[in-house]
Structures are given as structure tokens and as C-alpha cells.
């Protein structure tokens, strides 16, 4: 069993990875994935990818404002989220960091850090608890449902929110947030991490918002970008860039249940990538 997952583990060639924003590719662009450079080319609305030797990727796709690349036959399909098929507009935020992709996903799944890490963006003054915290496992998916009241400084009564996190290996986590009528606008966002190399990751955040509300989308993008900056400021302080997969390698609490299941699923995913049929 691998105790630590390197950011450029070659087994993850058998996975779909976001490698570029759709808007950033006109005719040709290079991208780095798992330590390999790929050249993306767009011809007649079709995107192809070849490595430095001229070998084409197993597959290339476009979805949710991103270009996805699978260097070798992937274990799972491209992620699909039905709410992005509704009347939503979306924008894609992009930031590069030296933090590992798995560490970023692990941090995203931690629901308790809002009250101390995101005080500037969310203005929370009371700890977010894990009292209403449900976890379900599906085929290559960890589903976390968390219900809480966000105690914002401008509203002593707090704001009721139900958040549903959907993790899919290796590095995609989708978040749906819903509020009771009159208390807030439902929204969706997705964190997708591109493991460029052992020391570099690109974090993409897909922000979905009702298409009729352009100012609301701009505001949500600004908020999501600020939240991502706060997350990066914390995870970039971690000295070891690898993600510990072995549960015994770290101290875990009740709030870490999603992170624990994420590690178990990633371990199974790596085993599937290493299967003879995909080698």
C-alpha cells in the first residue's frame, strides 16, 4: 500500500484531468500534467493532445469550461453534474500553487474550517459543527451532506445552509449549497485540481450561478476567488507536498470522515489504475 501519494504519480495517467480552461485555447497551447508536457491543438472545434514524442492522449474532452485529458485509458468517466445542465452560467477561476492536488481536495472537504480560515470572506463568528453530518459512499463517489447555520456577523440568527459535497477520484470535488426560500440563492461550485508536477498544481474552481443574474455571478466569482486564496495560504504552509494515504499517518477526528473516505477511495482507485488490463 502506498502511504503517501506523490503529485506526479504515474498511475494517475489512467484518469481524467482538467488541463486548461476552454477559453485559454484558441489554436494551440502546451500544458503540464504528471510531469509530462502535452500540446493541445484545436482544429474545426475538435481538440487533440500529443506528448513530446508525438503520441496522442487516450482521450480529450471539453466540459464545464475546462479541457480534460486522459493520458491512458481512464478508470472512470468524465464527471457529470446535472445542475450544470440547467439555466446556470458559470465561470472558471484558475490559480497555481505548490501545494499537492490531494491536499487541496482534502482541505475542501473539511467543513469545520469556515469559522477560523474564512472569517474575512464569510464573516463567521461561531464555530461550524459536525452535528448534522452524513456520509454516503457510491461507485467512485463520496457524498457528504452537511447542514448548519452559518453565523454571520451581520446576522446574529445565522443563515441555514445545506451543503452537499461530491468527491470523485482523483481530484474533483463538487459542492451544492441550498438555502430555505428567502434566505439565500442556491449555488454550485466545483474544485478541480491539475497535478502538473511533483511541486506544482493548478486549482480550477467552476462557479455556477443563475444565468439571469450576471451581477450575482460576478460577485460569486469574486467571493470564490477570495476563498480559494485563503485556502491556498493555509495549505501552502504544509512542508510535505504529498498526500498521506495511510490513515495512521495522521490524527483524524469526526470532522475528517470525508477526508478518511477520500483516502480509502483514492487507494482503491490507484489499485484499479495499476490493474493489468490498464497497464
Assign 121 to helix, strand or coil: helix
Indicate whether 157 pLDDT > 70. no
Assign 14 to helix, strand or coil: coil
Indicate whether 230 pLDDT > 70. yes
Look up the CATH number of domain 79-278.
Answer: 3.90.380.10
Which band of pLDDT confidence, cut at 50, 70 and 90, is reported for residue 238? confident
User: 112 or 225, which is more confident?
Assistant: 225
Indicate whether 120 pLDDT > 70. no
CB 178 within 8 A of CB 186: yes
- Please tell me the predicted confidence (pLDDT) of residue 178: 78
Domain boundaries along the sequence of the chain: 79-278
In the chain, pLDDT over 70 holds for what percent of residues?
80
- Please tell me the predicted confidence (pLDDT) of residue 82: 85
d(CA 99, CA 239): 9
Cell triple for 242:
504529498
Give me the residues paired with residue 31 across strands.
38
Indicate whether 279 pLDDT > 60. no
Q: Where are the beta strands (DSSP E) in the chain?
A: 4-5, 17-21, 28-33, 36-43, 46-51, 59-63, 66-70, 88-97, 133-138, 141-150, 159-168, 172-178, 187-197, 200-210, 243-244
Residues in CB range of 217: below 8 A, 6 or more apart? 89, 90, 91, 207, 209, 210
Indicate whether 8 pLDDT > 90. yes
d(CA 201, CA 187): 26
In the chain, pLDDT over 90 holds for what percent of residues?
49
d(CA 51, CA 55): 5
Indicate whether 153 pLDDT > 50. no
Indicate whether 253 pLDDT > 70. no
- Exposed/middle/buried for 105, CB within 10 Å: 0-12, 13-18, 19+? buried
| In the chain, alpha helices (H) | 101-108, 114-117, 119-122, 214-235, 257-273
- Please tell me the predicted confidence (pLDDT) of residue 250: 57
Which of 68-72, 103-107, 125-129, 142-146 shows the lowest mean pLDDT across its residues?
125-129
Indicate whether 170 pLDDT > 60. yes
User: 190 or 90, which is more confident?
Assistant: 190
Q: Model pTM?
A: 0.86
Alpha-carbon separation of residue 209 from 24, 81, 227, 231, 267 (angstroms): 21, 14, 17, 22, 34
Indicate whether 69 pLDDT > 90. yes
Which band of pLDDT confidence, cut at 50, 70 and 90, is reported for residue 18? very high
Indicate whether 115 pLDDT > 60. no
User: 163 or 274, which is more confident?
Assistant: 274
Choose among 75, 41, 46: nearest CA to 61.
Answer: 46
Amino acid at each position: 500500500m502506498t502511504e503517501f501519494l506523490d503529485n506526479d504519480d504515474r498511475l494517475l495517467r489512467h484518469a481524467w484531468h482538467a488541463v486548461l480552461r476552454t477559453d485559454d485555447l484558441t489554436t494551440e497551447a502546451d500544458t503540464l500534467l504528471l510531469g509530462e508536457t502535452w500540446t493541445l491543438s484545436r482544429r474545426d472545434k475538435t481538440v487533440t493532445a500529443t506528448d513530446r514524442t508525438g503520441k496522442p492522449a487516450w482521450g480529450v474532452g471539453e466540459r464545464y469550461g475546462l479541457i480534460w485529458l486522459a493520458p491512458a485509458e481512464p478508470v472512470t468517466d468524465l464527471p457529470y453534474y446535472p445542475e450544470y445542465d440547467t439555466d446556470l452560467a458559470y465561470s472558471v477561476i484558475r490559480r497555481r500553487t505548490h501545494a499537492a492536488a490531494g491536499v487541496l481536495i482534502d482541505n475542501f472537504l473539511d467543513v469545520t474550517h469556515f469559522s477560523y480560515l474564512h472569517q474575512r470572506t464569510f464573516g463567521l463568528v461561531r464555530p461550524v459543527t459536525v452535528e448534522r453530518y452524513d456520509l454516503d459512499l457510491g461507485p467512485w463517489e463520496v457524498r457528504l451532506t452537511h447542514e448548519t447555520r452559518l453565523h454571520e456577523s451581520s446576522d446574529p440568527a445565522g443563515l441555514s445552509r445545506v451543503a452537499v459535497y461530491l468527491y470523485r477520484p482523483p481530484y474533483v470535488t463538487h459542492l451544492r449549497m441550498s438555502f430555505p426560500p428567502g434566505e439565500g440563492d442556491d449555488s454550485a461550485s466545483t474544485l478541480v485540481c491539475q497535478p502538473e508536477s511533483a511541486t506544482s498544481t493548478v486549482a480550477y474552481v467552476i462557479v455556477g450561478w443563475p444565468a439571469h443574474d450576471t451581477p450575482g455571478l460576478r460577485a460569486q466569482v469574486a467571493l470564490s476567488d477570495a476563498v480559494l486564496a485563503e485556502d491556498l495560504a493555509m495549505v501552502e504552509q504544509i512542508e510535505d507536498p504529498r498526500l498521506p494515504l495511510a490513515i495512521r499517518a495522521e490524527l483524524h477526528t469526526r470532522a475528517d470522515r470525508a477526508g478518511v473516505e477520500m483516502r480509502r477511495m483514492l487507494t482503491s482507485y490507484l489499485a484499479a489504475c495499476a490493474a493489468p488490463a490498464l497497464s
